[in-house]
Each structure stands twice: as C-alpha cells, then as structure tokens.
Amino acid sequence: MILVRRLLGDVLRQQRLLQSRTLRDVSAAARVSMGYISEIERGQKEASSECLAAICSALDVPLSTVLAEVSDEMAHEEALLRGPTPLPRVSRVQADVSVAA
C-alpha cells in the first residue's frame, strides 16, 4: 500500500537536503517543532495543511510544487505495483486506416 504521508515526507526531506538545510533551521523558520518535522519527513505523522504551508514557506517551495512531486511519485509507485502493462493490440484494419489517414 502506498502511504501519501511517506511520499510527502520523502519530498519534503529531499527539498530540505537539496538546500543543505538542517531540521533545526527549517524548524525555526517554519515555527514547527524539530521533532514534528522529523516525524513528518519519516512518514510517521500526517501534517495539517497549515503545517505543510509553513514548512513549504520556510523551504521557499510552493506547496503546489511539493504536492505535484508527491503525485508524480505516487504514479510511479502505482505503475511499479501494476507491473508491466501489455501494449494495446492494433488490428490490421485499424493499422490500415491509420496509414491511409
């Protein structure tokens, strides 16, 4: 099962590390406890939208960007769970019509 809170935590941690920022630094800027941010990053806590907005603001990353990355990661993990998808079968009639067009 895919946990959104785990994916969200991974994306937030990645953003923080890309900026070479510490938990302490982000905690102070977001006014959210360091322990709570750590739990969010590890996927152990589900943060409220207000808390996420504060963390994203501290990281200077739009919440929409973080959520888009979470969505992309979720799609990737869903694809891995589904396994390889077979290619659609194209009948000879469909192929002939496509070539003629």
Q: Which domains does the chain have, with CATH numbers?
A: 4-84 (1.10.260.40)
CB 75 within 8 A of CB 50: no
Per-residue pLDDT of the chain (101 residues; tens, 9 = 90+): 778 999 999 999 999 999 999 999 999 999 999 999 999 999 999 999 999 999 999 999 999 999 999 999 999 888 888 877 655 665 554 444 455 55
pLDDT at 97: 46
Residues 30-33: contacts with CB within 8 Å, 24+ apart?
30/54, 30/55, 30/57, 30/58
Question: How far is 65 from 19, CA to CA, in rounded Å?
Answer: 15
Tell me the pTM: 0.79
Tokens of 72: 């992309």
The pLDDT score that the predictor gives to residue 88 is 64
